Amino acid sequence: MKYWIAMFPLLLAACANTVEVKDKDDFKCGEQIVRAEFLDDDSIILQINGVNNVLTKVAAASGKRYENIATQIVFMQQNGDYYLTIKGWNYPVCQKIER
């Protein structure tokens, strides 16, 4: 019982650290449609062909750059434009889909 009481504050702290969606947008990058959910921990969930990919923010010379090294996906914003790269393939400039 005393261990449970000692662990209770840690359990509460873990529950308090939730990640929330700040914004979400759909983009058309050439023929590829993607949905980006921008999270409040500076990462994004990029849905491509029904598969969710978590991309983390990395240092960029200008703009914002998110990437997932394992899946080789990069999504970046530069000068107001968005760009998608998958496994070295650069898609045309992404256009936000207005709904």
pTM for this entry? 0.78
pLDDT number for residue 53: 97
Contact partners, residue 66, CB within 8 Å, separation at least 6: 43, 44, 46, 55, 56, 57, 58, 74, 75, 76
Higher confidence at residue 93 or residue 12? 93
pLDDT in tens, 46-97: 999 999 999 999 998 888 999 999 999 999 999 999 999 999 999 999 999 9
Ramachandran class of 30: left when φ > 0, alpha when ψ lies in -120 to 50, beta otherwise? left
**pLDDT for 3 beyond 50:** no
pLDDT in tens, 16-42: 568 788 899 999 999 999 999 999 998
pLDDT number for residue 87: 97
Instruction: Report the length, in residues, of the chain.
Output: 99
